[in-house]
Structure 1
Amino acid sequence: MTLAAPSPGTPSPAREAGIDLLRVVGVIAVVAGHVFEGPWVQRGIYGWHVPLFFFLSGYFWSRGRTLAEEAARRSRALLRPYVFWLSVIGVPFVALRLLEGQGAKDAALPLVLGGAYLTRPFSAFWFVTALFAACLAFRLLERQSMPVKAGVVAAALLACQLAPRYVAHVPAAVGTAFAALVFMYAGQCARAFGPQLPTVWIGWAALAVGGVLAGGGTLLPLDLKQALFGTPVASVAAAILICAGLTRLAETYGALVPPRAGRWISSLAQSAIMVVLSHSAVLEVLGTRSETWWPGFPLALGVPWAIGLLLLGTPAAPWVLGVERVKGLGGRRRLSPPRAR
Structure 2
Amino acid sequence: MKTIRLNQFDILKGIGIILVMFGHAILGNGLIHNLIYGFHMPLFFFCSGFFFKDKPLKESIIKDAKGLLIPWMTFCCVLILCSFILQILSNGLSPQFHPLDENCYILYYTIWFLVCMFIVRLFYRFISKINNRLIINILCWGVFFFVYIAI
User: Of residues 37, 58, 61 in structure 2, which corresponds to 1:71?
Assistant: 61
1:89 aligns with: 79
Structure 1: runs of 5+ lacking an equivalent: 1-8, 112-116, 154-179, 186-221, 228-341
Aligned length: 139
Counterpart CA distance in 2 for 1:110 and 1:181 is: 33
Given residue 135 of structure 1, which amino acid in structure 2 is its aligned partner? Answer: R
Residues 1:19 and 2:9 aligned together? yes
* Aligned partner (choices 51, 60, 65) of residue 42 of structure 2: 51
| Partner-residue secondary structure (3-state), 2:37 | coil
- Corresponding position of 1:41: 33
Q: TM-score, normalised by structure 2?
A: 0.65
Q: Which amino acid aligns with 1:140?
A: F
Instruction: Say whether the 8 Å CA contact 2:20–2:40 is kept in structure 1.
Output: yes
Q: 1: CA distance between counterparts of 2:110 and 2:17?
A: 11
Q: Which has the higher contact order (CA 8 A, sep 6+)?
A: 1
- Cα distance in 1 for residues equivalent to 2:15 and 2:131: 35
Runs of at least 4 residues of structure 1 off by over 6 A?
none
Bigger mean CA offset, 75-84 vs 122-131: 75-84
Look up the match of 2:111: 125
How has the CA–CA distance of structure 1 residues 59 and 76 changed in structure 2, closer, same or farther, with 3 Å as cutoff?
same
Amino acid aligned to 2:149: Q
For the aligned residue pairs, the C-alpha RMSD in angstroms reads 4.0
Q: Any residues of structure 2 matched to 1:103-142 within 5 Å, and which? A: 107-109=98-100, 118-119=105-106, 121-142=107-128
Q: What letter corresponds to residue 148 of structure 2 in structure 1? A: K
Q: Which runs of 5+ in 2 are unaligned?
A: none
Normalising by structure 1, report the TM-score.
Answer: 0.33
CA distance in 1, matches of 2:116, 2:126: 15
Identity of aligned residues (%): 26
